[in-house]
């Protein structure tokens, strides 16, 4: 297997075979993101990708069940190329159940029609991971996401129409200490319009290489406190009216909240309330929650 490192994948793809179909990200302007900064975007040749798939078959055998196409936005590839690669994957791995990739709204709208997405679904492309981050257009503009909330909804609806699963990501803390309430309320509104199969929470972690890290160092961005991030989570959850899995499957989060909406909403809100009360009453607990390696299970 040949990889142009580093390679990233969602936590839910931890046990997936990673096939690198693109190098880097074609957008690569998100101010919170440190990934792919050292890479120039390119689409790999289909024959090279097939060679890697063949190598993976030789090394892993035929029992691979899930594949993730890296790097960022493999959905940008021409549909016939993707269909060709998908057909080859399923031929090499007869037990294959799922193939997924990242797919930004910007590139779905620019490069795909609903009919093309249906072709990909028929060929075995089962799920798109999309980063909404925020439903607040002012925040989306500030972080240079490249799409408006309306465009995010349009692209999400195309995915749903195709029959693919939609895994949508929300970035807690991205509005900072001053704008988190509006960010949470508008994010819930947009998620309701999307009704994704999965809503996955991430909490902003500022790292060198991300432009927003430089803003924070300069005092131009004030991070949300743990209690504000949990309040933000509660506002989003309270205002959701979707049929979705609500998941906190990342080490960045303050609480590992998992459940099915709408039936598990009350349980998750009760757990959030308990953590917030403890944060206010227990200073030692609050200090531990500020550790970047924290994660509590609900």
Q: Which helix (H) or strand (E) holds 179?
A: helix 176-194
- pTM of the complete model: 0.93
Q: How far apart are the first and last CA of the chain?
A: 39
Q: What is the rounded CA–CA span in Å between residue 121 and residue 24?
A: 24
Q: How far is CA 91 from CA 52, 199, 290, in A?
A: 14, 31, 48
pLDDT at 298: 35
How confident is the model over 210-229, as a mean pLDDT? 93
Buried b (16+ CB within 10 A) or exposed e, 15-24: ebbbbbbbbb
Using an 8 Å Cβ cutoff, are 254 and 295 in contact? Answer: yes
How many CA atoms does the CB half-sphere of 126 hold within 13 Å? 12
Q: What is the rounded CA–CA span in Å between residue 8 and residue 23?
A: 11
What domains can be seen in the chain, in order of their start residue? 11-297 (3.20.20.70)
Q: Which DSSP letter does residue 223 get?
A: P
pLDDT at 291: 59
Q: What is the rounded CA–CA span in Å between residue 239 and residue 170?
A: 14
How confident is the model over 189-202, as a mean pLDDT? 98
Higher confidence at residue 291 or residue 7?
Answer: 7
How confident is the model over 19-42, as a mean pLDDT? 94
* R_g over Cα of the chain: 19
In three-state secondary structure terms, 294 is: coil
């Amino acid at each position: 297997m040949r990889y142009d490192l580093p390679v990233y994948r969602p936590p839910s793809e931890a046990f997936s075979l990673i096939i690198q179909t693109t190098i880097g990200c074609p957008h690569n302007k998100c101010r919170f993101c440190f990934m792919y900064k050292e890479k120039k975007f390119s689409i790999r040749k289909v024959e090279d990708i097939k060679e890697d798939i063949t190598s993976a078959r030789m090394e892993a055998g035929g029992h691979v069940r899930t594949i993730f196409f890296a790097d960022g936005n493999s959905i940008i590839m021409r549909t016939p190329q993707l269909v060709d690669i998908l057909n080859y994957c399923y031929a090499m791995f007869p037990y294959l159940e799922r193939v997924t990739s990242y797919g930004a709204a910007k590139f779905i709208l620019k490069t795909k029609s609903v009919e093309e997405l249906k072709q990909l679904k028929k060929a075995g492309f089962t799920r798109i991971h999309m980063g909404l981050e925020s439903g607040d257009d002012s925040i989306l503009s500030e972080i240079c996401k490249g799409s408006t909330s309306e465009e995010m909804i349009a692209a999400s609806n195309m995915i749903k129409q195709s029959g693919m699963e939609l895994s949508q990501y929300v970035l807690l803390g991205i509005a900072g200490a001053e704008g988190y309430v509006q960010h949470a309320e508008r994010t819930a509104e947009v998620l309701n319009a999307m009704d994704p199969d999965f809503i996955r929470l991430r909490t902003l972690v500022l790292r060198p290489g991300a432009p927003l890290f430089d803003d924070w160092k300069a005092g131009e961005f004030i991070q949300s406190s743990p209690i504000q991030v949990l309040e933000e989570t509660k506002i989003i959850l309270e205002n959701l009216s979707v049929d979705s899995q609500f998941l906190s499957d990342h080490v960045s989060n303050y609480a590992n909240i998992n459940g099915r909406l709408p039936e598990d909403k009350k349980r998750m809100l009760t757990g959030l309330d308990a953590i917030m009360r403890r944060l206010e009453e227990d200073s030692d607990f609050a200090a531990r929650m500020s550790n970047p390696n924290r994660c509590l299970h609900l």
